[in-house]
Amino acid sequence: MAFQLIDGKKISLELQDEIAAEVQKLKAAGMKTPHLAAILVGNDGGSETYVASKIKACEKVGFKSTLIRLPEYVTEEKLLQTVHELNNDPDVDGFIVQLPLPRQINEHKIIEAVKPEKDVDGFHPINVGRMVLNLPCYVSATPYGIVHLLHKYNIETSGKHCVVIGRSHIVGSPMSILMAKNTSLGNSTVTLCHSKTENLKTHTRSADILICALGSPEFVTADMVKEGAVVIDVGTTRVASAETKSGFKLKGDVKFDEVAPKCSYITPVPGGVGPMTIASLLKNTLLAAKREVYP
């Protein structure tokens, strides 16, 4: 079957161009420059890369950005203090605390300390609750990006069976909620699978839309996928590679070469969901700057 590649890089650049044009308009109208801040704790290689891409993307669309670095052994108290400072800084429209955090810090406490109005990652319980209730909110960036991709490629979701593998708070769970919503971009019948799911293949083989977010490289093989399915690969695992300068390669959760020929649409890794996550974060920051979600 001839499959169509879902080009997340291209759609992400388009979205960033739209955001950049809107930033120009805001500035021309005398409004302040949207400002995203990021707190990075420690020196984890993956987190460093993600934050650097977010900062670079901010510059590209004309946002102001601030990176606050804290040492690996920072206390929870000091991190909370930094969060409060950003909450109260009128120049900062939105901010993120890059996850994961070191062991001495209670992640939930930090997420709950971020003002919902500035929680552009959409992780705060208020934003999650508002998403469930269909109220204005910041939707977390990765699920938001995936919905945007489905929309851009005119992929019908209504009445379809969507299977999500993975139930994390940042990807799988919100994704399953968005796909089941009574909205034009939802209306799917959703099955949410996880590590305790029995007969996983039986579920995945009946999926019209299969969203893979488990973090296990090349886990999803051709025999797990229905002919003509739409496959969204969220997984990004660093695996050692002698072929790259960095010494690693990003691998998705899907065995692309054998799965793609069975699909109608599929996202690659890299270049699929990843770039959309950053564009969605910028979009949330723009909404924050315009006070659209919380007027």
Determine how many CB atoms are found less than 10 A away from the CB of residue 289: 23
- 8 A C-beta contact, residue 71 and residue 42: yes
Question: 165, exposed or middle or buried, with CB in 10 Å at 0-12, 13-18, 19+?
Answer: buried
Residue in 12, 127, 157, 237 binding ligand NAP, rule: CB under 6 A = 237
CB of 146 to ligand NAP, least distance (A): 9
DSSP code of residue 220: B
- Stretch 126-145 residues interacting with ligand NAP (CB under 6 A): 142
Q: What does DSSP assign to residue 101?
A: P
Q: Which of the residues 160 through 199 are near ligand NAP (CB under 6 A)?
A: 165-168, 170-172, 193-197
Q: Which of residues 48-107 bind ligand NAP (CB under 6 A)?
A: none
Choice between 92 and 149, CB closer to ligand NAP: 149
- Residues classed as catalytic: 54, 98, 121
First to last CA, the chain: 48
As measured in angstroms, the least distance from the Cβ of 274 to ligand NAP is 4
Nearest to 17 by CA among 274, 292, 282: 282
For position 47 contacting ligand NAP by CB under 6 A, the verdict is no
Of residues 176, 277, 284, 285, which one binds ligand NAP by CB under 6 A? 277
Q: Count CB-CB contacts under 10 A for residue 246.
A: 10
Q: Please tell me whether residue 279 binds ligand NAP under the rule CB under 6 A.
A: no
Q: Which residues pair with 265 in a beta bridge?
A: 4, 230
Query: Phi then psi for 97, rounded to 5 degrees?
Result: -110, 110
Instruction: Check if the beta carbon of residue 166 is closer than 8 Å to that of residue 214.
Output: yes
Between 92 and 166, name the residue whose CB sits nearer to ligand NAP.
Answer: 166
| Angle, CA of 163, 168 and 170, to the nearest 5° | 105
Q: Does 267 bind ligand NAP (CB under 6 A)?
A: no
Residue ranges in 24-43 that form contacts with ligand NAP under rule CB under 6 A: none
* Stretch near ligand NAP under the rule CB under 6 A, chosen from 89-97, 124-132, 150-158, 232-240: 232-240
Give φ, ψ of 237 to 5 degrees: -110, 135
Q: Which of the ranges 28-36, 87-95, 230-238, 283-291 carries the binding residues for ligand NAP, by CB under 6 A?
A: 230-238
Q: Candidates 137, 214, 220, 224: give the one binding ligand NAP (CB under 6 A).
A: 214
| Residue 250 found at the interface with ligand NAP (CB under 6 A) | no
Query: Which residues of the chain form contacts with ligand NAP (CB under 6 A)?
Result: 142, 165-168, 170-172, 193-197, 200, 213-216, 234-237, 273-274, 277
